[in-house]
Chains A and B, each alone.
Chain A
Amino acid sequence: MTVGALIADLRCAIGADRVRADPFEMTLYDRDASTMRGSCAAVCLPASTAEVSAVLRTCRSHDWPFVARGSGTGLAGGAVPSGPKPPVVVVTTRMNRVLDVDVDNRLAWVEPGVINLDLSRAVAEHGLFFAPDPSSQQSCSVGGNVANNSGGPHCLLYGVTNAHIAALDVVLADGELVRLGGLDAEPDGLDLRGCFVGSEGTMGIATRICVRLTEKPRSVSTLLADFTDMGNAARAVSAVISAGIVPAALEMMDKTIIGVVEAYVQAGLPTDAEALLLVELDGLQGGVRVESAAVSAVLSGHGARSVRVAADDTERAVWWKARKSAFGAVARIAPNYYLHDCVVPRSVLVDVLGEVNAIARAEGLLVGNVFHAGDGNLHPLIVFDRREPGVEAKVHEAGRRIIEACVRAGGSLSGEHGIGLEKRDAMSLVFTEADMAAQKCLRDAFDPEGRCNPDKVLPSGTAGCGELASVPAGAWI
């Protein structure tokens, strides 16, 4: 069937103004916040569950693939329309209502296009917030958080998105609506909700999400320590955790990053430091006071040149703004960046950081590091200018070597950004064929025709259920 017929039917299904097929406009949906690009057949802007279902039914009758997209702030190309047949992009930004807040049970039903920070703002009057706080929280959507099982600085204490989703209403690839999970503490049956969170849009489109809200901490203390040696900073991170303290957040930035964020926020950060640690403690006032003093002592004991405590909410907000704007701010050095996301055991943080810097140096590239040190989630950020001949090849080569180094050190492929298109072909570094076949089986159970965000997460040609003759020993099933 032709694209023209598909577009005509989509227009019948949800209205002409909700379906865009102008080539110029469609180009704007070719990419997310990563550097990968694809192309799409049409862009749909449904405003309700019924409309999403109508779009997916239409795609089914045309045997056409589709990709869900929230705010498009993903960093692994998860929402990039790709594959042999250009998919339909289903944008959820118009589904942006907070439907119901249950203060007593600390639950809220929201639509997928609600912006993460807007959700926290909407429930703030009840003393509640939505805990996952990715750096893009001012723009990213809750639907996108679900798809990527997003993390964020404060997930060190509160846990990643999966811990904050109670139930989901999902439109499957054939247009059917199902509810996954439930509001009971222990819903019956298999945890299909848990399967769906982090599935990167490969199992359907969540159109109503029931989130668990968290009580705002009574008291918060934020510390900023600067080091003249990166190794000392990394050792201080382990020492804090070994001292039995789990901060709400424990973040590190290196010299390159300190320089660019300071230029943007002007927070008075010491730009001559080799590393900065941002540590946040929250809870009851007494405990926070004691822990804050203990952390401060540990940091000083590991060579911190100075340890400052945020005087008030304004200062705290500025420090966090500095941390959260790092990715965008690097554009002041060069216009393109390639941001990595891998997790390594905290104990090898120092070695892996050294290795990352050496790899970048060997390729003649500049790398900045800003990351969730507390859980060993590294974000090496390679900065480059695409217009420089041959540079992209070098960036990809460095990227590949960084991933390999992390995996060798016992790490994982992705901490929180997902696999998407970016790391799809690196899956085999961590998973055996049998592992991937098992993942494909699960995915096929939700989407037997393979039309739901095709081309993502699993390398093309991954064998499916029953296609693999035997399961080798040691497979990660």
Chain B
Amino acid sequence: MAVTGRNLLGLDPDELSCCVSCGLCLSTCPTFRVSGEEAKSPRGRIAAMRLVSEGAAVTESFLEVISSCVMCRACETACPSSVHFGSLMEDTRASLAATTVPWWQTLAYKTLERPRLLRLLTGMGAVAQRLHLIPPALESRLSLPRLAVRQEPLTPTGSDVWLFTGCVMDAWQRPVHAAVIAVLSAMGFGVALPGAGAACCGALHSHAGLTSRAVTLAGRVMSAFPGDAPVLVDSAGCGAQLRDYGRLVGTDEAARFSARVHDVHEWLAARADLLPPVKAGAGPLTVAVQDPCHLRHVQKCHLPVRKVLSPYASVVELDDDGVCCGAGGAYSALRPEMARAIRQAKLSAIDAAAPDVVASANPGCSLWLAGGGAKVEHPMVLVAQRAGLV
């Protein structure tokens, strides 16, 4: 059944033809791993894009092929012919956005852009949670953490570096920012905080194909960080998006901004000698590192997390080759069944490694894994705790 008459996705045929169908990406793809279906594999998705680009009708099954992708981009790292899967998928989704993004998803993203509204809702949610007003089914679908009723405000400490505070991160995980500020201050770096314009990086909009909205948000974010001090990011997903502004917006200014953006661990790893000492009397701690896909496959800077953690804990690896946890931004809420199956595999790998705690540098992954019963902390919170700063 044809959903729409459009048959061109506006993709670059050269990029599509770069996929030689070798299949080397298959095992890195979380949706292929749990489903075993070609239609849920990177190779199958590219073949599907090619078919539609060459004139096949856009059918329900094509939409399923596209919407079941987590956008973890592990296939991109695995692909020997360097297919730019992420941009193919984003462009495809952008062409389909009008017909595929459900109204409530667009509305939810609008909320993310408005920090005060989000904070208000978060506060209400916290109260509602305590009063058990949120139906358990909805709560687990959204993988809501235990929300804080009141948030301590953050205070800037100087102007050596900017800290990107974001939307979900700021409202739900403000303690992470506090930990980053504490560690940076202990190392002698003053931290500047942006104004309200830097509320939302636009990553979820980009993933859903809402490109023009993402470009607008990028403009707002960039103007909230004047000067040329480095912009540090403690959320892997936001960091990846900020680093992509150069491509997304396509201006020199945006490219210059993107070059100023660093993942906080990457920035700290280059200054590891300045890291604060472990506090006296801290017992042994085993940490398993879960690599957020946006750190490992997009920013390609997952190794610094280990370097930053290693003075503070013994770091163990999960034996699953860094496959995605299934959170995928909004994916876990949009495709709960598939996401849970993917998470189950991750939880088994965590069980096998038997750590005291899992370190994850992305709020989405943390919330999602915690929702599955794992004990998860942001690496920077662990560092601050072990150094006795929080």
**Residue among A31, A117, A329, A331 facing the most chain B CB atoms (10 A cut-off):** A331
Q: Identify which of residues 102-161 in chain A touch chain B, using a CB-to-CB cut-off of 8 Å.
A: 113, 115, 117-118, 121, 136, 138-140
The answer to whether the Cβ of B62 comes within 8 Å of any Cβ in the partner chain is yes
Task: Decide if A73 touches B37 in the complex (CB within 8 Å).
Answer: no
Q: Identify which of residues 14-40 in chain A touch chain B, using a CB-to-CB cut-off of 8 Å.
A: 22, 24-25, 27-29, 31-33
Q: How large is the interface on A (under 10, 10 to 19, 20 to 34, 35 or more residues)?
A: 35 or more
Closest to A118 in B: B27
Task: Decide if A331 touches B19 in the complex (CB within 8 Å).
Answer: yes
Question: What is the bound-complex CA distance between A73 and B59, given in angstroms?
Answer: 27
The answer to whether the Cβ of A337 comes within 8 Å of any Cβ in the partner chain is yes
Task: Decide if B20 touches A121 in the complex (CB within 8 Å).
Answer: no
Given A45-B37, A94-B36, residue A24 in contact with residue B48 (CB < 8 A): yes
Task: Decide if B21 touches A33 in the complex (CB within 8 Å).
Answer: yes
On chain B, the number of residues with a Cβ less than 8 Å from chain A's Cβ atoms is 35
Chain B residues with CB under 8 Å of A337's CB are 20
The answer to whether the Cβ of A214 comes within 8 Å of any Cβ in the partner chain is no
Tell me which of B76-84, B115-123, B163-171 binds A.
B76-84
Question: What is the bound-complex CA distance between A332 and B48, given in angstroms?
Answer: 21
Task: Decide if A31 touches B24 in the complex (CB within 8 Å).
Answer: no
Given A45-B36, A93-B36, A121-B319, residue A325 in contact with residue B24 (CB < 8 A): yes
Chain B residues with CB under 8 Å of A45's CB are 36-37
Chain A residues with CB under 8 Å of B27's CB are 71, 115, 117-118, 138-139
Given A24-B48, A24-B51, A93-B36, residue A335 in contact with residue B17 (CB < 8 A): yes
The answer to whether the Cβ of B44 comes within 8 Å of any Cβ in the partner chain is yes
The answer to whether the Cβ of B22 comes within 8 Å of any Cβ in the partner chain is yes
Distance from B158 Cβ to chain A, minimum over Cβ atoms (Å): 38
Closest to B58 in A: A24
- The interface bits of chain A over 178-220 (1 if a CB of B lies within 8 angstroms of the residue's CB, else 0) are 0000000000000000000000000000000000000000000
The answer to whether the Cβ of A371 comes within 8 Å of any Cβ in the partner chain is no
Chain A residues with CB under 8 Å of B83's CB are 331
The answer to whether the Cβ of B26 comes within 8 Å of any Cβ in the partner chain is yes
Task: Decide if A329 touches B23 in the complex (CB within 8 Å).
Answer: no
The answer to whether the Cβ of B353 comes within 8 Å of any Cβ in the partner chain is no
By secondary structure, the A interface counts as loop
Chain B residues with CB under 8 Å of A386's CB are 17
Partner of A136, one of B14, B24, B56, B319: B24
Chain A residues with CB under 8 Å of B61's CB are 22, 24-25
Question: What is the bound-complex CA distance between A28 and B65, given in angstroms?
Answer: 11
Task: Decide if B23 touches A136 in the complex (CB within 8 Å).
Answer: yes
Q: Identify which of residues 74-116 in chain B touch chain A, using a CB-to-CB cut-off of 8 Å.
A: 78-83
- The interface bits of chain B over 170-184 (1 if a CB of A lies within 8 angstroms of the residue's CB, else 0) are 000000000000000
Question: What is the bound-complex CA distance between A330 and B37, given in angstroms?
Answer: 26
The answer to whether the Cβ of B47 comes within 8 Å of any Cβ in the partner chain is yes
Closest to B14 in A: A335
Closest to A117 in B: B27
Closest to B51 in A: A27
Closest to B15 in A: A335
Closest to B45 in A: A28
The answer to whether the Cβ of A328 comes within 8 Å of any Cβ in the partner chain is yes
Task: Decide if B22 touches A73 in the complex (CB within 8 Å).
Answer: yes
The answer to whether the Cβ of A96 comes within 8 Å of any Cβ in the partner chain is yes
Task: Decide if A332 touches B82 in the complex (CB within 8 Å).
Answer: yes
Chain B residues with CB under 8 Å of A261's CB are 80
The answer to whether the Cβ of B39 comes within 8 Å of any Cβ in the partner chain is yes
Closest to A383 in B: B20
Closest to A92 in B: B36
Question: What is the bound-complex CA distance between A247 and B43, given in angstroms?
Answer: 35
Task: Decide if A24 touches B56 in the complex (CB within 8 Å).
Answer: yes
Chain A residues with CB under 8 Å of B21's CB are 31-33
Question: What is the bound-complex CA distance between A96 and B25, given in angstroms?
Answer: 17
Given A45-B36, A72-B38, residue A328 in contact with residue B24 (CB < 8 A): yes
Distance from B338 Cβ to chain A, minimum over Cβ atoms (Å): 13
Task: Decide if B23 touches A33 in the complex (CB within 8 Å).
Answer: yes
Question: What is the bound-complex CA distance between A337 and B22, given in angstroms?
Answer: 10
The answer to whether the Cβ of B270 comes within 8 Å of any Cβ in the partner chain is no
Closest to B44 in A: A28
Closest to B56 in A: A24
The answer to whether the Cβ of A336 comes within 8 Å of any Cβ in the partner chain is yes
The answer to whether the Cβ of A91 comes within 8 Å of any Cβ in the partner chain is yes
Task: Decide if A71 touches B23 in the complex (CB within 8 Å).
Answer: yes
- The interface bits of chain B over 6-46 (1 if a CB of A lies within 8 angstroms of the residue's CB, else 0) are 00000000100111111111111000100011110001100
Question: What is the bound-complex CA distance between A266 and B252, given in angstroms?
Answer: 28
Distance from B32 Cβ to chain A, minimum over Cβ atoms (Å): 8
Task: Decide if B59 touches A139 in the complex (CB within 8 Å).
Answer: no
Question: What is the bound-complex CA distance between A330 and B22, given in angstroms?
Answer: 11
Given A93-B37, A94-B36, A138-B27, residue A325 in contact with residue B80 (CB < 8 A): yes
- The interface bits of chain A over 327-360 (1 if a CB of B lies within 8 angstroms of the residue's CB, else 0) are 1111110011100000000000000000000000
Task: Decide if A335 touches B24 in the complex (CB within 8 Å).
Answer: no
Task: Decide if A29 touches B26 in the complex (CB within 8 Å).
Answer: no
Task: Decide if B48 touches A28 in the complex (CB within 8 Å).
Answer: yes
Task: Decide if A328 touches B20 in the complex (CB within 8 Å).
Answer: yes
Q: Identify which of residues 211-270 in chain A touch chain B, using a CB-to-CB cut-off of 8 Å.
A: 261, 264
Chain B residues with CB under 8 Å of A29's CB are 38
Task: Decide if A328 touches B80 in the complex (CB within 8 Å).
Answer: yes
Chain A residues with CB under 8 Å of B38's CB are 25, 28-29, 72, 91
Distance from A282 Cβ to chain B, minimum over Cβ atoms (Å): 23
Partner of B62, one of A24, A93, A327, A336: A24
Chain A residues with CB under 8 Å of B47's CB are 27-28
Task: Decide if A136 touches B22 in the complex (CB within 8 Å).
Answer: yes
Question: What is the bound-complex CA distance between A22 and B62, given in angstroms?
Answer: 10
Task: Decide if A71 touches B37 in the complex (CB within 8 Å).
Answer: no
Chain B residues with CB under 8 Å of A330's CB are 20, 81
Chain A residues with CB under 8 Å of B37's CB are 45, 91, 93
Chain B residues with CB under 8 Å of A136's CB are 22-24
Task: Decide if A138 touches B36 in the complex (CB within 8 Å).
Answer: no
Partner of A328, one of B22, B36, B44, B56: B22
Distance from B176 Cβ to chain A, minimum over Cβ atoms (Å): 31
Question: What is the bound-complex CA distance between A113 and B37, given in angstroms?
Answer: 12
A interface residue numbers (CB < 8 A to B)? 22, 24-25, 27-29, 31-33, 45, 71-73, 91, 93-94, 96, 113, 115, 117-118, 121, 136, 138-140, 261, 264, 325-332, 335-337, 385-387
Some 22 contacts from A to B, beta carbons below 8 A apart, are A24-B48, A24-B51, A24-B65, A25-B38, A25-B65, A28-B39, A29-B38, A32-B21, A45-B36, A73-B26, A136-B23, A136-B24, A138-B24, A138-B78, A139-B23, A139-B27, A325-B24, A328-B22, A331-B81, A335-B20, A385-B17, A387-B17
4 closest Cβ pairs, A-B complex: A93-B36, A331-B81, A328-B80, A325-B80
* Known A25-B65, A93-B37, A115-B27; 7 more pairs at CB < 8 Å: A22-B59, A33-B20, A33-B21, A45-B37, A91-B37, A93-B32, A93-B36
B interface residue numbers (CB < 8 A to A)? 14, 17-28, 32, 36-39, 43-44, 47-48, 51, 56, 59, 61-62, 65, 78-83, 319
